[in-house]
Structure 1
Amino acid sequence: MVRPYAVTRGRTGAGGPEFDLIALVTGHVPAGADPPVGPEHAVILDLCQGEPLSVAEIAAELDLPLGVVRVLLGDLLDAGHIRVGRPVPPALLPDAHILQEIVHGLRAL
């Protein structure tokens, strides 16, 4: 078992943006790019190659604390190995009342 601080080399925060739990991460390794630094970086890239995963899903798959995953994602983002899609702003989400009415309507059928 490797301690979390050893995985991140003692760093406690990503150097760049803060990653939301629901931010979607997609693997993107440019041609001729250097390979990732550690095995955890490679696992993240493998997980995100097929389809985008949220930060929370990546942390669950790796069985690592969220803070550690955020540091690793920051490394990959800085190197240009991943793309991060921001979650939908709450203002663009449907109103909860409308969704409730739809559920009631479907149950009435």
Structure 2
Amino acid sequence: MRVRPYAVTGGRTQSRHSATLALDTQLEPGDRPPPEHLAPEAHQIVRLCLTRRRTVAELSGRTCQPVPVVQVLVSDLLDTCALRVAPSTFSRSPDVLRDVAAAMRRKWPDARSAC
């Protein structure tokens, strides 16, 4: 049975953390289980994050919910410590990006730049 997005979030379109939850924000389990009163989709999100870190975009796809709905649910889960934002392992350092680009050129020397 498909539930309308506004019913999943209780009519809310934003929560405390929604503005800071980007599509690539990675989430992992928190220190507490989710409260029983949260939507079944929130419990599904926690179960998904138990197996490995998940991004907001991936959670949206796996739960078949729009990104804003997932952001509201994740925000609730962050507030209850059922989830936490995982530390970023991606470096935007110019040196790292240069090294990655050089490694890709070595691996695929015949590829042409699209930029």
Sort the TM-score into its range (normalised by shorter chain): 0.7 to 0.9
Distance in 2 between the 1:59 and 1:7 partners?
13
2:96 is matched with which residue? 94
Alignment pair present for 1:78 and 2:86:
no
Report deviation, 1:56. Answer: 0.6
Identity of aligned residues (%): 28
Which amino acid letter does the alignment assign opposite residue 22 of structure 2? D
1:58 is matched with which residue? 59
Q: Which residues of structure 2 form unaligned runs of 5+?
A: 110-115
Distance 1:85 1:36, change over 3 A: farther
- Tell me if the contact between 2:21 and 2:71 (Cα under 8 Å) persists in the aligned partners: yes
1:28 is matched with which residue? 30
Q: Which residues of structure 1 form unaligned runs of 5+?
A: none
Report deviation, 1:50. Answer: 1.6
SS in 2 for 1:94: helix
Report deviation, 1:14. Answer: 1.9
TM-score (norm 2): 0.77
RMSD of aligned C-alpha atoms? 2.4
- Of 81-90 and 44-53, more deviation after overlay is shown by 81-90
- Tell me if the contact between 1:26 and 1:83 (Cα under 8 Å) persists in the aligned partners: yes
Report deviation, 1:42. Answer: 0.8
Distance 1:39 1:94, change over 3 A: same
Distance 1:100 1:91, change over 3 A: closer
- Tell me if the contact between 1:24 and 1:54 (Cα under 8 Å) persists in the aligned partners: yes
SS in 2 for 1:90: coil
Distance in 2 between the 1:93 and 1:58 partners?
31
1:106 is matched with which residue? 107
